[in-house]
Amino acid sequence: MKNKVQLITYVDRLGVKNINGLAELLNTELKGMFGGVHILPFFNPIDGEDAGFDPINHKQIDPRLGEWSDIKQLSSSVEVMADLIVNHMSADSIEFQDYLEKGDESEYASLFLTYNSVFPNGAAEQELVSIYRPRPGFPFNKMKFKDGSEKLIWTTFTPKQIDIDVYSEKGEAYLEDILTIYEESNIKMIRLDAAGYAIKKAGTSCFMIPETFAFIAELTEKAHRRGIEVLVEIHSYFKTQIEIAKKVDYVYDFALPVLVLDTIYNKDAGNLKKWLAIAPRNVITVLDTHDGIGIVDVASENGEPGLIPDTVLDEIVKTMHKKSEGRSLKATGAAASNLDLYQVNCTYYEALGKDDEAYLLARAIQFFVPGVPQVYYVGVFGDENDMELLAQTNVGRDINRHYYTLEEIAKNKETSLFQSLSALMKLRNRVEAFNGDFAVLDSPAENLKLKWTSGDNYIQLNANLSATTFEIEGIENGEAINFKI
């Protein structure tokens, strides 16, 4: 994968209707800004309960968006990343509906996980409470079959997302088929969605257990044989993330978003510098995504300190809500049918109080820390929370999932914020020193100096946190680099 800025986007939320429209946008309005694109679920349907993460048919592109040949054509101009949803499929899928109709006689019966298939001898109370949960309650839902019988079906996330047995014959074939389609469509990287929950074993937390690592390793090997790299998406305690990174191609640096907020809010880069000293290097960096801003990734766990002291972290969360004038509170925690207990739903721009200078500083830090940077489509324009969409759907994460029109995009392109961010992204894409050696230079806590060196070439970020300003200097093939905010 190219070490260039990547776009994270849905196909139909950037003013275009299909994959071909997205390709045209990337080659015109957004030309030169991105070396790759992570297309969020484009499977059939894109408008399920979880915005495509509950596919009825993972092997089919939603016909409203196009066909696999369109993905292959897009990949000729930018590298394409796609999700591989390994943990579950839709309750409306042909496979699960067949199971509900025929029960154990269904050819797909072994594909789905039930309480009994994981706990054939029943489960003690301690086994059940030990299951790691990203959301309230137990991961089961009682479902009725055509013959009137009922079973507890394993549903990690929602009743519409039915967990599959990835080691069953049907489960292995299902994932293999998707990988084959991806290879044929020239997809260069897959993001394993919810991979940490994929393996369930009695007597464990059912989250990132040794068997999970083994499954990820096996799936990664299958992907590599097809020329596909693997990104594992897991929110977890920072030490766990460090260990996971040792065993996979790429992980997200999910600690970075809150550490950057800490750095800018408190005008102190101390916690960020400590993280950069130990952080994995095989990372994808983000500030914003289609989900919320993760808190668990920097928090303490079981008495072990986190990357940010819990008291400071509490104040950071309060500041996010204050900076957004309370709008993020309407989409976070128990509000707006929200089930993600470890995230704050808010655009990153509003989390910084709609301060252009602070936002550009945050992006500059992201582009200078180790890793391949991704920018979420709403973040490309430094946009506000979509309270109208939130009111329509009452889904917390929709606060940061705006549907743009081409007119909105044209208007946003004229802003000084977009023009500065675009210039910063193009600088990140063209400077070869970013492929060299990284160093955090000594500086007072209220300053941050990050440097990349490759031979005689270098590029350096000098951030003044007290003034919320920065400048970039360097040498590229004998030519001076100067960029200042």
**End-to-end CA, the chain:** 30
CB atoms within 10 A of CB 386: 20
Q: Identify the active-site residue in 62, 70, 83, 233.
A: 233
Residue type, 90: S
Q: How many residues does the chain have?
A: 485
CB atoms within 10 A of CB 445: 14
Examine the residue annotation and report whether 193 is marked as an active-site residue of this protein.
yes
Examine the residue annotation and report whether 442 is marked as an active-site residue of this protein.
no
Contacts of 152 (CB under 8 A, 6+ apart): 114, 115, 116, 140, 141, 142, 143
Rounded-to-integer distance, Cα 309 and Cα 290, Å: 27
Helix (H) or strand (E) holding 242: helix 238-245
CA 373 to chain centre: 12
Contacts of 126 (CB under 8 A, 6+ apart): none
SS3 410: helix
Give the tokens for residue 375: 């920018």
Q: Tell me the chain's radius of gyration from C-alpha atoms.
A: 22
Angle (deg, nearest 10), helices 406-413 and 416-430: 80
The CA distances from residue 28 to 5, 73, 86, in Å, are 17, 16, 34
Rounded-to-integer distance, Cα 188 and Cα 324, Å: 37
Task: Give the residue from 49, 61, 83 showing the smallest Cα distance to 12.
Answer: 61
Contacts of 47 (CB under 8 A, 6+ apart): none
Query: Which residues are paired to 373 by β-bridges?
Result: 285
CB atoms within 10 A of CB 68: 17
Residue type, 164: I
Give backbone dihedrals phi and psi of 404, rounded to 5 degrees, phi first: -85, 150
Q: Identify the active-site residue in 54, 193, 268, 398.
A: 193
Rounded-to-integer distance, Cα 297 and Cα 315, Å: 16
Rounded-to-integer distance, Cα 125 and Cα 299, Å: 27
Q: Which amino acids are annotated catalytic?
A: 193, 233
